Amino acid sequence: MPIADRDNDARNAYNPWSRDWLKKPKTFRAEGYLEFIRTHPCLECGDPKTVAHHESLGQNMMGGKPPDTHAVPLCVACHDMRHHIGAENFWSRDVRMAIIQLLTEYLRNGNPDPADI
Ligand SMILES: [Zn+2]
Ligand SMILES: [Zn+2]
């Protein structure tokens, strides 16, 4: 493709008059995935009654809530503790790995990719 055409394509792809780039990025939400998370025992103590805690992986500097794909199961007591002492002091395990394992299990169960919904 001639360079001039390529430049035109790039220009067409970026529309400076569009206000879309001003919009806040949409945070991923999926209630079905949260239900799945709550069927798991607490990651820290194994208590079977859990809530879905949204773990921040350091990308939420704007103060928004992390996406539902970062949800992990914690019992009420551990959840309170997590918010009280912070992620660095709380986790005795690799929470990123736990998030990946939970997402993998969800997909293996034949559920649609929560990021595509
Ligand atoms: Zn617990
Ligand atoms: Zn929480």
Asked if residue 80 belongs to a domain, the reply is: yes
What is the 93 CA–ligand 2 centroid distance (Å)?
17
What is the 53 CA–ligand 2 centroid distance (Å)?
4
Asked if residue 38 belongs to a domain, the reply is: yes
Asked if residue 20 belongs to a domain, the reply is: no
Rounded to an integer, what is the distance from CA 30 to the centroid of its chain?
10
Asked if residue 13 belongs to a domain, the reply is: no
Per-residue pLDDT, 75:
98
Q: How far, in Å, CA of 63 to CA of 60, rounded? A: 6
Give this prediction's pTM.
Answer: 0.72
- The total number of structural domains in the chain stands at 1
What is the 45 CA–ligand 1 centroid distance (Å)?
4
The single-letter code of the amino acid at 99 is I
What is the 25 CA–ligand 1 centroid distance (Å)?
32
Please report which ligand is nearest the Cα atom of 83.
2
What is the 38 CA–ligand 2 centroid distance (Å)?
13
Write out the residue range of the structural domain in which residue 71 sits: 28-116
Per-residue pLDDT of the chain (117 residues; tens, 9 = 90+): 555 555 555 555 556 666 665 565 666 788 899 999 999 999 999 999 999 999 988 765 566 788 899 999 999 999 999 999 999 999 999 999 999 999 999 989 888 776 665
CB neighbour list of residue 34: distance below 8 Å, 6 or more residues apart: 52, 68, 71
